[in-house]
Structure 1
Amino acid sequence: MTSSDFEKLIIQQKDKLFRFAISILKDSNEAQDAVQEVVLKLWKNRRLMDKAQNLESYCLNTIKNHCFDVLRKQKHHQNYLQTNIHESLEESRFDAIDFVEKLKQELHQLPVQQRMAIELKDFQGLDYDEISEIMGQNTNTVRVHVSRGRKKLFEIFKEELANV
């Protein structure tokens, strides 16, 4: 892969990489750092990218793995889940929060696999086969994650709207 090809690829993928990183890390500064580190890593290993069948999936898979490494190193993952659960319990009224913000908050309450599947399917617009490749799971498992996550979100908003 030439430097020009690499530059074009990164320009096309940087926003997706950032959105995906922030959906996992929940911190824009950490997500920016992760994208920078992954771009550097991809640059160093650009010869391996020539063998990849789908460069977009390759890049998203690389950022996913890096983000999980960051979470593991910081032992941040469990604290992150507990903090978000605590914050959601303190929220008093649905109408006081913007709908989009409420959706983001509730999306972050889903299990990691469901959240990633929904992020890739509904926000990134990837198909199930691409998501399957990125997440390292079979297509049916990805479909189940998306379905269960959507169902949980629907139930949450159904309850919230009934209380309004």
Structure 2
Amino acid sequence: MELKQFKISVLPLRDKLLNYARKLTESPDDAEDAVQEVLLKLWNKRLELEQYRSIEAFAMTMTHNLCMDMWRTRHTTNVPLEYVQDATPSGTPERLLEIKDEIRLMREIIDSLPALQRTIMKMKDIEEYETEEIANITGCNPEAIRSNLSRARKKVREIYLQTIQERIRRNQA
């Protein structure tokens, strides 16, 4: 799709996408950011857009997914201690501190992954997206999603076990 065709087919959708994003985000700034990112992604996929039956439906789906990502990021990045306490009925202060340390450790490990693996792992394991949804959002094929997810999980497991073993050795010394 050339620039002229993009201007005719995609840019007129901007207002509709913006209205939808405002309803989902309840923030004009976040809605503007989401639509801007969707339009950028559509521009980057302009050569593939002709394979979709409805560019509008594709754009709306992208907007929806991006707004949901923004919402999830805002509501899942920092788990307050109260939620950890609610999740553990026999939450002694020591146990709550251990859980908080485990959450911090897992965040650090996940944040140390390469960007694509980190994104895919968060979307699949934390935000519970389906593989096809992740593929649509990231532009990767489903096999690449599965492969990156497998590598990410393996790396997280290795680092986690290594860290735990180091802690045990330190405590025994």
CA distance in 2, matches of 1:38, 1:56: 16
Unaligned runs of 5+ in 2: 1-12, 40-53, 70-97, 169-173
Displacement of 1:40 in angstroms is 6.0
Unaligned runs of 5+ in 1: 16-32, 65-94
CA distance in 2, matches of 1:140, 1:56: 21
CA distance in 2, matches of 1:158, 1:105: 14
Aligned ranges for residues 141-160 of structure 1 at < 5 Å?
A: 141-160=144-163
CA distance in 1, matches of 2:35, 2:140: 27
Do 2:117 and 2:149's aligned partners in 1 also have CA atoms closer than 8 Å? yes
Do 1:121 and 1:127's aligned partners in 2 also have CA atoms closer than 8 Å? yes
Aligned equivalent of 2:102, options 89, 99, 103: 99
**What is residue 52 of structure 1 aligned with on the other side?**
57
Go from structure 1 to structure 2 and tell me whether the alpha carbon gap of 1:113 and 1:5 turns closer, same or farther (over 3 Å shift): closer
Structure 1 runs of 4+ aligned residues shifted over 4 Å read: 3-12, 59-64
Q: Please give the root-mean-square deviation of Cα atoms over the aligned residues, in Å.
A: 4.1
Displacement of 1:38 in angstroms is 1.4
Aligned equivalent of 2:135, options 126, 132, 135: 132
Go from structure 1 to structure 2 and tell me whether the alpha carbon gap of 1:56 and 1:104 turns closer, same or farther (over 3 Å shift): farther
Displacement of 1:60 in angstroms is 4.2
**What is residue 121 of structure 2 aligned with on the other side?**
118
Q: Structure 2-normalised TM-score?
A: 0.49
The superposition leaves residues 11-41 of structure 1 with CA deviations (integer Å, 9 ceiling, x where unpaired) of 54x49xxxxxxxxxxxxxxxxx7x3541464
Q: Structure 1-normalised TM-score?
A: 0.51
Displacement of 1:52 in angstroms is 2.4
CA distance in 1, matches of 2:129, 2:121: 10
CA distance in 1, matches of 2:139, 2:16: 30
Say yes or no: does 1:38 pair with 2:41: no
Any idea what SS the aligned residue of 1:51 has?
Answer: helix
Percent of aligned positions with the same letter in both sequences? 21
Aligned residues: 111
CA distance in 2, matches of 1:53, 1:119: 23
The structure with more radius of gyration = 2
CA distance in 2, matches of 1:145, 1:125: 16
